[in-house]
Amino acid sequence: MKRFVLSLAALALSTALAVAQQPGPPRPPGNGQNRFVQMEQKALAEAFVGITADGKIDPDLFKITPSGVSTQPVQSATLAFLDSLSESDRAKTTFPIGDDEWRKWANQHSYPRQGMSFAAMSEAQRKLAFAMIGAGLSAKGLKTTRDIMKLNHTIGEMSGRLGEEGYGQWAYYLTVMGEPSDTEPWGWQFDGHHCVINYFVLGDQVVMTPHFLGSEPVRAESGKFEGTVVLQDEQNAGLAFALSLTAAQREKAVIQKDKDGTNLQTDAFHDNEIIPYAGIAYGDLNPEQQKGLVSLIEHWITHMAEGHARVKMEEVKAQLDRTRFAWIGDMQADSVFYYRIHSPVVMIEFDHQRPIALGRGSAATRQHIHATIRTPNGNDYGKDLLRQHLLDHPH
């Protein structure tokens, strides 16, 4: 799909980045036939634009402005984690702020990753790593992350692949971009099967997208982590909101009646996806339904730590008149479905997927969920804030 010509501002950014960054550690040699690496290379051949509705960036949505919420806790926790690493481990874990490593993430278990793996950490280092992640996430967000890791162990148990690369609760990696700072841009990335967190910091501002969440299964019925369950609140809240719509409103909201095996559009290597607005507009909802849609968005945004989640929700609420809700599938109590919330400043996708690790089939199942949170119009990975910063402070 042809992309629009970069603006002068974007060109200035690319020039500034070329000057600012030094090459990060090279990707370890891997299987040249790995289709995910091929997808990565194809995606990175395109300059970053961001997710848009029509191929054009909606300008002036994001400002460098104080949030009033301190980022000192996550900065201090990140420095403590980095200080625990050996010189060689630290070298493979840290990258320049503008490095393409930001965009080198994937949900798939077999994708080759860089950084420091939890499997290679000591118990003390794992505690520091979780403290670092937990400083950026809410208690709910950290629990969801840990539960996805545990269910990745459950996948290994159920499939007989425990111990294989990509399976197990410690098959996750951390990288840090830039140097933790009060004034300069920096951030970190958590990357592994069914969970990816990109966390960009500039001053006291935070962008925590792209954020990928998922699992197969979503509930451990047995094994080491029996009873662990994820993403049910987000699933049930989405269905409850859809059921609140009248028949006439459902006609607008439903963009496809039959649920495919997969409908997610903004997973890995889709940073420049063009997704037109579709579904029912916020303005076509009654006041109670409008509150319900805001509540549904909050289910996702509150994976961030409370202060920055509040800041993000203020940003979201300022664009509600341009927000739409779209649905694919049926609306019964046990239905499989997809829903999307789309505004200029947030895109949330929830998708029941076909079975992969626990069998093969073409029909979607409630035991396999993928979901993404994105910042459209060029600010995934905090890139629009970084662009503005570099224009004012060339490196």
Report the percentage of the chain scoring pLDDT > 70: 91
pLDDT over 80 at 34, yes or no: no
DSSP run (H or E) holding 214: strand 211-215
pLDDT over 60 at 29, yes or no: no
Q: Where are the domains of the chain?
A: 232-374
- CB atoms inside a 10 Å sphere around CB 122: 9
Strands 94-95 and 172-177 turn out to be parallel
pLDDT grade for 303, boundaries at 50, 70 and 90:
very high
Quote the mean pLDDT of the chain.
92
For tokens 């790995």, the residue is 34
Euclidean distance between CA atoms 327 and 325, whole angstroms: 7
Higher pLDDT, residue 370 or 2: 370
Euclidean distance between CA atoms 48 and 40, whole angstroms: 13
Q: What is the pLDDT of residues 252-278, one digit of tens each?
A: 999 999 999 999 999 999 999 999 999
**pLDDT for 248:** 98
Phi and psi (nearest 5°) for 350?
-125, 135
Q: What is the mean pLDDT of residues 224-236?
A: 98
Contacts of 333 (CB under 8 A, 6+ apart): 239
Beta bridge partners of 198: 189
Q: What is the pLDDT of residues 342-359, one digit of tens each?
A: 999 999 999 999 999 888
pLDDT over 70 at 32, yes or no: no
Task: Kindly write down the DSSP assignment for every residue of 246-283, as one continuous string.
Answer: -HHHHHHHEEESS--S----SSTT-TT-B----SEEGG
CA 226 to chain centre: 26
